Amino acid sequence: MINRKLYIFLLLFVFVSCETTVQFKGEVEEPLPVLHSEMVAGQPLTAYVGRSYFFLDENVTDLTPVDTNRLEETSNHQLGALTNAIVEYQINSGEWGRMSIYKDTTDNVMMYKAEGYILQPGDAVSLRATCPSIGEVSAEQQLPKPIDFTISNITYNDKAYSVDINLLQYQGKENEYVALRLKVELECYDAQDSLLATLSPSTFYCNDSVFERCANLRSSKMNYYPIDGKYLLLPAAVLATADYLLHLNANITFRSRLGQNLKEEDIAKCNLKTTIKVENWTEDTYRYYCTKAIYKGEYPNDNYRDNLGNVFDFDLTEVASEFSTTVSRDFGMESGVQLFCNINGGLGHVTGKAITTEEITYPNINY
Amino acid sequence: MCKRLFCFCFCLMTFSFWGNAQGITLNGYVSDAESGERLIGATVFENTTSVGTVTNNAGFYTLTLPATNIILTVSYVGYETLNMQLSVKKDTLLNFNLSNNAHLSEVTVVANQSLSSPQSVQMSAVEVPVQQMKGIPALGGEVDVLKALQLLPGVQAGTEGSAGVYVRGGGPDENLVMLDGVPLYNVNHMMGFFSVFNADAVKSLTLYKGNFPARFGSRLSSVIDVRQNDGNLQQYRGSVTVGLIAAKVNVEGPIVKGKTSFNVSARRTYFDLITAPIMHAISKSEMNDGSAAAGYYFYDVNAKVTHRFSDNDKLSGSFYIGDDKVYVNYREREVEGMDGGRSKLSLGWNWGNLLGAVSWEHRFSPKMFAITQLSFTRYRYNLKQTLDASLALDSTDSNRRLNLNEELQYRSHIMDLVLQSNFEFTPNNKHNLRYGAQYVYHRFNPQVASLSMFGVESLSNGLPVDTTLSGGITNSHEVSAYVEDTYSPLWWLKMNIGLHGSLYAVKGKVYPSIEPRIGLRTLITRDLAIKASYSYMSQYIHLLSNSSVSLPTDLWVPVTSKIAPMRSLQAALGVTYNVLGQVELSIEGYYKFMKNLVEYRDGASFFGSAAGWENKVFMGDGWSYGVEFLAQRKIGKLTGWIAYTWSRTMRQFAREGQVLNFGKPFHAKYDREHDLSVTLSYQITPKIDVSGTFVFSSGNRATLAMQRYYDPDISTRRHSVYYYEERNNYIMPNYHRLDLGANFHIPHHKWKNAEHLVNVAVYNVYNNMNPFLLYADEREGQLYKITIFPILPSLSYTFKW
């Protein structure tokens, strides 16, 4: 019987793997100015201005992507936000105006805002930022116009759901994309018309061509990526000459909460509420969202070359590949994702979109 | 220009085809005197007329001579040269048996006609004698023929230790690897650290990097032609080897003496047997009440049976099976934190090739020979995970339990059925005509994933689930035909002109391809030649893989209506010089352009999924150019080669909607500017030989994000995002390594032909920490490299009889 210590020693000797440091050979790159702005028609014009860091700069440890434990300590300095930048905007080739700094309470980040101006559909917006000792950046974006639509023929009977969404004819700029989001909820009321509960679908199996692949999804996947998190995407060019009618058939089962805080005898009626948002994206917005989705590991099923496709669609095996891919990416075995960038002289993105929302309720359904 | 040249050569050849057919024709086989094994590439040379030829893959030669008194020299590397004077008056079948002399001292192979010699029209091809390969020090002592190829010029290795082969800027899927003429799809074991070829079963290995003869098609970058031993026709021989990694056995012998032979080789690793006691100890100490077992091993079996009906007919059957297997079994009788909980998890993962072929070789006449083959090849992987769990729902009621059965399975396979006929006709010494046709039925089932979950008590989120996802079976048909002629109008001029045509039909779409091939050789002196070549190639299948290591889950898929076939054009110019019949020197420059290459979109993954794969790839172009130098000595006490390559390989993906790297050209991952290897073996005494390999190459390329910044839309948790300015923008540290080995041959004291062979080798002698991969730790502001093979001694023992 071989001595156990000797056995382990031999094994370690044979299968040892070594990790050592490597001297970085190359130029340490200077920081670049960063500009981000997501413009939505009907909302104020805001922008983030910051700087980048050399990837081996150990002084900005809180930017490390795996460090989630010290979020509260993260300061704007570490985020690279620049509070001393001169940020200006121009609407439809008019006068340049200066944006003022403010603190965004949602993300607790210093941002810049065009005071008193609400973005309008079709606005051509130019932004420029002068960042002391770092450089100057600029970007342009023209906001698209909203897509109008109507909802009709909603039915729900014994889990079978259908709806017609008619996207009205639209002539916009080249390479705009229409993104559609759908949310179906069941609102249950008592005899006094008080809302008892809002139920979300637990399964959503559909067989419509536009959502064809969602039939392959596990129910648990649907919970994790709920219906209202999924986009249907099609080029706006399909609306150039005529309306576009989407007929969606689905099989929906709502998550039962009976026996928990919801008693069947208390329910007097349930209404089926369908909320539909149609977003019109500029080409830059589309390209940024695509690379963003890939960057975040949400591999898109992008059929845009065939005019139809569900960008944020997943299948089971891709979920299984998550671990492998993460390992590949973290250890440099896979090429990194190049995020879309449309900033002159720096990094970041400036995007634009217009959103139309419709809500319709189908009353007194038997679920 | 190429078309005109092609037409001119074609006319010239046609006019001369039936002329000069006077004389007698010698034909026959060159074999090993002891075993009867036919020798591929042996030289048969007539001294008075200076006319020579080499044996084909069947060991057959044909030589038309004007004189009746002839002086013949028959030679082959590692064998004693045979000289004879004959008087022949009519066409004669003349077989030669050469004596193996592994301990041959300094000799000269007269008028060597091997592929890399100045006499041959072929360029960009290398034959490495198997005995020479076996002498090369190997990782873990396990001799690997594909790793030996990595030491040749124009061939790049993949990551450290892997058997990946990257030829002249092409990817690993662009190599046509054939075992006895049958394509193999997965040529790797153990994630690419070892190839599927058991060196004991291999008779010959030839690598074509360019100047592809018209008989080859369907891949862009290389043809690796591996031939198995037929087996000893005279006596039973064999060997048993025990090494650190694997044990193997090889047995060959006659079934009917002189007529029928067999050759069987088998190999198995024993990692699982080594790790089993450790796994057992860990499971005992870490688990309260349960067991765990896990392991990995691979095995392969090569077999060949050959029957010679006569000198006119030979029938042979080849068989190969090889599998890698991973298994994990985990059983808990008491699940922690759950009273009365039990679970059993098992994972089985196996992948491998199955290959079978029946070949019929027929000599129609002294001038015409044919090989017809029916073959089958299949690669498949199967991953299956099952979970059986039982949890108590109510601690007071033991009957209220949730029983959960989950089964997750991924399967994939590719299968080919191939029927091919190849004819060789030599009307006179100026022409050697080859023609043939092939039909391949491809069946792709690149992904079947199924998940079933059943519970006795339904969970709220929708159990049970029984789902099967499938990329669908795709059948495709490939028909090809070729004709090529090696034509020698003048003593100093030789050319190989060929045409390869193919049709590929898949899902109602048919892709045609006409591929001209030209090779020219001009002799300046008897030992100095200038060679030039042009090849056009097409490839109809792709390998989906997004890792730099070879994974069994890499998927082969056919071209589709959206993804067009890959094409390549390659031109090369070179000089070959034979120094005193001892050393072959060659220097070659090449330029290769590749069209419709497939790269993964940023971040796309194919791990186990071919669904929608067309939308995860982009098509683009690539080009590679370089200069290769080779000095090779195959005979004598000191053998080996020095190879150096300077090369550049680029990619560009700038088609509309298919942009990578902002449309700018970028370096391929394995674009290494300098690549040097020195491989030498020296026979100190007949009982001791030593060998060494030194390798130096520029580092692989990696993609490093040089900047990081905050993006409020992505950095929802204040993570930074990375700015990748360019793909493969960083060159990893240079790679270099020295391996040394020694073989000790100890004759058996009783059995005459038996010997003990002890191999001692050290991989990476000076323990250089070569990078396997790089990663950055931003918190420390430091780059790290991981090395997987530091200094690695090995020892193996072989008993041969």
Nearest by CB to B609, which of A29, A36, A318? Answer: A318
pLDDT digits (tens, 9 = 90+) for B674-686: 999 999 999 999 8
Q: Taking each helix axis as running N to C, give the angle between helix B271-286 and helix A4-15, from 0 to 180 degrees, rounded to the nearest 10.
A: 120
Average pLDDT over residues B19-32: 80
Chosen for mutation from A289, A295, A314, A335 (greatest number of chain B CBs closer than 10 Å) is A335
B744-750, Cβ contacts within 8 angstroms, sequence gap of 24 or more:
B744/B687, B744/B688, B745/B686, B745/B687, B745/B688, B745/B689, B746/B687, B747/B687, B748/B801
Cβ contacts (< 8 Å) between B408 and chain A: which residues?
320
Yes or no, beta carbons of A291 and B721 under 8 Å apart: no
Judge contact between B291 and B283, C-beta under 8 A: yes
**What token pair was written down for B746?**
């100890």
What local confidence, expressed as pLDDT, does residue B569 receive? 96
Determine contact: B410 vs chain A, CB below 8 A: yes
Which amino acid would we find at residue B785? K
Model confidence at B288: pLDDT above 80: no
Residues 6+ apart with CB under 8 A from A249: A160, A161, A162, A206, A207, A208
A 242-271 residues with CB < 8 A to B: 253, 255-256
Q: What CATH number has the domain spanning B2-118?
A: 2.60.40.1120
Q: State the smallest CA–CA distance between residue A150 and chain B in angstroms.
A: 30
How many residues belong to chain B? Answer: 801
Phi-psi region at B494: left, alpha or beta (left = phi > 0; alpha = psi -120 to 50): beta
Between CA B103 and CA B5 the distance in angstroms is: 47
Within its chain, how far is the Cα of B326 from the centroid?
Answer: 23
Nearest by CB to A219, which of B461, B606, B721? Answer: B461
Between CA A63 and CA B713 the distance in angstroms is: 15
Judge contact between B640 and B681, C-beta under 8 A: yes
Model confidence at B342: pLDDT above 80: no
Cβ contacts (< 8 Å) between A219 and chain B: which residues?
461-462, 465
Q: State the smallest CA–CA distance between residue B717 and chain A in angstroms.
A: 7
Yes or no, beta carbons of A11 and B774 under 8 Å apart: no
* Domain B126-454+462-699+734-800: CATH architecture, name and number where available: Beta Barrel (2.40)
Beta strands in B333-430 (DSSP E): 342-365, 368-392, 401-428
Q: Indicate the average pLDDT of chain B.
A: 84
pLDDT digits (tens, 9 = 90+) for B59-110: 999 998 876 788 999 988 888 889 989 888 888 899 999 988 755 444 444 4
Yes or no, beta carbons of B461 and A336 under 8 Å apart: no
Yes or no, beta carbons of A328 and B721 under 8 Å apart: no
Beta strands in chain A (DSSP E): 18-22, 33-40, 44-51, 53-54, 86-91, 96-98, 100-104, 109-118, 124-131, 135-142, 149-157, 160-167, 177-189, 195-199, 201-206, 231-235, 244-254, 269-281, 347-362
Q: State the smallest CA–CA distance between residue B411 and chain A in angstroms.
A: 11
Nearest by CB to A334, which of B244, B546, B709? Answer: B546
Yes or no, beta carbons of B724 and A336 under 8 Å apart: yes
Using DSSP's 3-state secondary structure scheme, residue B75 falls into: strand
Q: Which residue of B has its CA nearest to A321?
A: B607
Confidence of residue B643 (pLDDT cuts 50, 70, 90): very high
- DSSP H/E element including B307: strand B290-308
Residue closest to B133 by CA, chosen among B121, B151, B120: B151
Determine contact: A343 vs chain B, CB below 8 A: no
Output the 3-class SS for B679-727. Answer: EEEEEEECCEEEEEEEEEECCCEECCCCEEEECCCCCCCCCEEEECCCC
- B60-65 and B69-75 as β-strands: parallel, antiparallel, unpaired? unpaired
Judge contact between B158 and B697, C-beta under 8 A: no
Cβ contacts (< 8 Å) between A34 and chain B: which residues?
709-710
- Classify residue B141 by its DSSP letter: G
Which amino acid would we find at residue B455? G
**What token pair was written down for B118?**
């100045």
Comparing A4-13, B538-547, B552-561, the range with the smallest average pLDDT is: A4-13
What local confidence, expressed as pLDDT, does residue B765 receive? 93
A 1-20 residues with CB < 8 A to B: 7-8, 11, 14, 16-20
CB atoms within 10 A of CB A343: 20
Cβ contacts (< 8 Å) between A301 and chain B: which residues?
612, 615
pLDDT digits (tens, 9 = 90+) for B117-139: 888 889 999 887 887 888 888 77
Instruction: Work out whether the CA dihedral B99, B258, B145, B478 comes out positive or negative.
Output: positive
Judge contact between A238 and A225, C-beta under 8 A: no
pLDDT digits (tens, 9 = 90+) for B390-446: 776 666 666 666 677 777 777 888 999 999 999 999 998 889 999 999 999 999 887
Phi-psi region at B192: left, alpha or beta (left = phi > 0; alpha = psi -120 to 50): left
- DSSP H/E element including B266: strand B260-269
Which amino acid would we find at residue A36? H
Task: From residue A345, give the alpha-carbon distance in Å to each of A55, A348, B232, B571.
Answer: 19, 10, 73, 42
φ, ψ of residue B275 in degrees (nearest 5): -85, -15
Look at the pTM and tell me if it is higher than 0.95: no
- B24-32 and B92-93 as β-strands: parallel, antiparallel, unpaired? parallel
Yes or no, beta carbons of A304 and B717 under 8 Å apart: no
Yes or no, beta carbons of A255 and B460 under 8 Å apart: yes
Yes or no, beta carbons of B727 and A335 under 8 Å apart: yes
Nearest by CB to B712, which of A53, A107, A339? Answer: A107
Yes or no, beta carbons of A219 and B707 under 8 Å apart: no
Yes or no, beta carbons of A52 and B781 under 8 Å apart: no
B 579-638 residues with CB < 8 A to A: 600-609, 611-612, 615-616
Cβ contacts (< 8 Å) between A349 and chain B: which residues?
711, 713
Task: From residue A269, give the alpha-carbon distance in Å to each of A152, A191, A243, A274, B367.
Answer: 22, 8, 35, 16, 93
- DSSP H/E element including B598: strand B583-600
Domain boundaries of chain B, sorted by first residue:
2-118, 126-454+462-699+734-800
Determine contact: B404 vs chain A, CB below 8 A: no
Beta bridge partners of B557: B542
Model confidence at B495: pLDDT above 90: yes
Determine contact: B731 vs chain A, CB below 8 A: yes
Task: From residue A2, give the alpha-carbon distance in Å to each of A11, A50, B610.
Answer: 12, 63, 47
Residues 6+ apart with CB under 8 A from B72: B26, B44, B45, B46, B47, B82, B83, B84, B85, B86
Yes or no, beta carbons of A21 and B408 under 8 Å apart: no
Determine contact: A102 vs chain B, CB below 8 A: no
Judge contact between B775 and B754, C-beta under 8 A: no
B 269-298 residues with CB < 8 A to A: 274-275, 277-278
Determine contact: A115 vs chain B, CB below 8 A: no
- First-to-last CA distance in chain B? 58
Using DSSP's 3-state secondary structure scheme, residue A83 falls into: coil
What local confidence, expressed as pLDDT, does residue B433 receive? 95
Residue closest to B440 by CA, chosen among B519, B342, B533, B373: B373
Model confidence at B293: pLDDT above 50: yes
Cβ contacts (< 8 Å) between A334 and chain B: which residues?
546-547, 603
Q: Which residue of A has its CA nearest to B451?
A: A316
Chosen for mutation from B296, B467, B549, B711 (greatest number of chain A CBs closer than 10 Å) is B711
pLDDT digits (tens, 9 = 90+) for B234-259: 999 999 999 888 899 999 999 999 99
Between CA B34 and CA B32 the distance in angstroms is: 6
Between CA B154 and CA B208 the distance in angstroms is: 10
Between CA B101 and CA B560 the distance in angstroms is: 53
What local confidence, expressed as pLDDT, does residue A204 receive? 60
Instruction: Work out whether the CA dihedral B777, B783, B787, B790 comes out positive or negative.
Output: negative
Q: State the smallest CA–CA distance between residue A163 and chain B in angstroms.
A: 24
Task: From residue B19, give the alpha-carbon distance in Å to each of B6, B15, B68.
Answer: 21, 8, 19
Yes or no, beta carbons of B657 and A74 under 8 Å apart: no
Judge contact between A179 and A231, C-beta under 8 A: yes
- B260-269 and B290-308 as β-strands: parallel, antiparallel, unpaired? antiparallel
Output the 3-class SS for B202-255. Answer: EEEEEEECCCCCCCCCCCCCEEEEEEECCCCCCCCEEEEEECCCEEEEEEEEEE
From first to last of its 367 residues, chain A has per-residue pLDDT tens of 345 555 555 555 444 557 778 888 877 788 899 999 999 999 999 999 998 888 887 666 444 333 334 444 445 555 678 888 999 999 999 999 999 999 887 777 889 999 999 999 999 999 999 998 899 999 999 999 999 999 988 888 877 888 888 989 998 887 788 877 777 888 888 888 888 888 777 666 555 444 443 433 322 232 222 333 345 667 787 788 889 887 777 777 776 666 566 777 788 888 888 888 888 989 888 878 777 766 765 544 333 223 233 333 333 333 334 433 443 444 444 456 678 889 999 999 999 999 999 888 888 776 6
How many Cβ contacts (< 8 angstroms) between chains A and B? 260
Residues 6+ apart with CB under 8 A from A72: none
Determine contact: A71 vs chain B, CB below 8 A: yes
Judge contact between A353 and A359, C-beta under 8 A: no
Q: Which residue has the tokens 């088998």?
A: B266
